[in-house]
């Protein structure tokens, strides 16, 4: 199946549209079915936690509920993490901030386009960038620019994306059975066709010499990419 990027309805609906609110709720359920919080937490778990509050940026963070699930799984060793939830829509769930505070995380919300953020400067060492169900929104040229920006601004990057496979595509066409709304029923197969397989992300990652990279399928429907700077 060739990769094909098409517009997703959730990206085009106003933030407060009830269909968008319903679809963001569906996303939380889909993340659970896909096991993405656990895939992300175990990839992050390979980082040393001794004495280091990490800076973490989730790009395309949506309502923040994904990172709050990941934070719960990471446990006490990650207390003090300073997280930035970046999304071009301001849709942070009301209870997300409270969940982070209980875990001892500091959180700031940044509402802007990720490609603008990529152009800025910021500390690279000690910065972890994560993306969940996000990279697949971008066609090849934008994806290259995005990965270049992330590589410049972080020393550890983890992405969990839809796996582009016939199995994932078949499941994505059945999301109505778990009560997903019309927006999600449209966007799920679109996301799978725009997803990744093989070593597609590694091939787009800039300057592979300075990085340890792994990329493979993860869970029933997901594709994992991890890049760790050698320094």
Ligand X SMILES: C[S@@+](CC[C@H](N)C(=O)[O-])C[C@H]1O[C@@H](n2cnc3c(N)ncnc32)[C@H](O)[C@@H]1O
- Residue 7 or 210: the one with the smaller Cβ distance to ligand X is 7
CA atoms within 13 A of residue 168's CA, in its CB half-sphere: 26
How far apart, in Å, are the Cα atoms of 69 and each of 50, 55, 81, 94, 129?
Answer: 22, 17, 14, 15, 16
Minimum Å gap between C-beta 150 and ligand X is: 12
Minimum Å gap between C-beta 84 and ligand X is: 12
Minimum Å gap between C-beta 125 and ligand X is: 24
Among residues 26, 60, 105, 223, the one that binds ligand X under rule CB under 6 A = 60
Q: Pick out residues in 151-190 that bind ligand X (CB under 6 A).
A: none
Residue 108 interacts with ligand X (CB under 6 A)? no
Residue 149 interacts with ligand X (CB under 6 A)? no
Among residues 73, 82, 88, 124, the one that binds ligand X under rule CB under 6 A = 88
Distance of alpha carbon 37 from alpha carbon 200, whole angstroms: 22
Q: Which value, to the nearest 10 degrees, does the dihedral of the CA atoms of residues 110, 12, 219, 192 take?
A: -140
Question: Any idea what DSSP says for residue 77?
Answer: G
Among residues 6, 7, 11, 179, the one that binds ligand X under rule CB under 6 A = 11
């Amino acid at each position: 199946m060739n990769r094909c990027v098409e517009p997703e309805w959730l990206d085009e609906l106003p933030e407060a549209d009830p269909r968008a609110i319903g679809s963001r709720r569906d996303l939380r359920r889909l993340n659970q079915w896909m096991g993405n919080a656990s895939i992300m937490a175990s990839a992050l778990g390979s980082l040393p936690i001794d004495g280091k509050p990490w800076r973490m940026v989730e790009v395309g963070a949506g309502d923040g509920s994904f990172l709050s699930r990941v934070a719960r799984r990471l446990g006490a060793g990650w207390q003090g993490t300073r997280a930035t939830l970046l999304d071009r829509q301001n849709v942070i769930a009301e209870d997300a901030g409270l969940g982070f505070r209980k875990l001892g995380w500091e959180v700031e919300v940044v509402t802007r386009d990720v490609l603008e953020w990529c152009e800025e400067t910021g500390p690279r060492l000690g910065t972890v960038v994560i993306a969940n169900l996000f990279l697949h929104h971008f066609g090849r040229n934008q994806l290259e620019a995005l990965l270049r920006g992330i590589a410049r601004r972080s020393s550890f990057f983890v992405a969990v994306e839809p796996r582009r496979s016939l199995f994932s595509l078949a499941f994505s066409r059945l999301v109505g059975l778990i009560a997903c709304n019309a927006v999600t029923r449209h966007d799920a197969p679109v996301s799978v066709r725009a997803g990744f397989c093989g070593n597609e992300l590694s091939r787009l990652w800039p300057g592979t010499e300075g990085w340890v990279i792994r990329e493979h399928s993860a869970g029933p429907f997901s594709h994992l990419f991890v890049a760790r700077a050698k320094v």
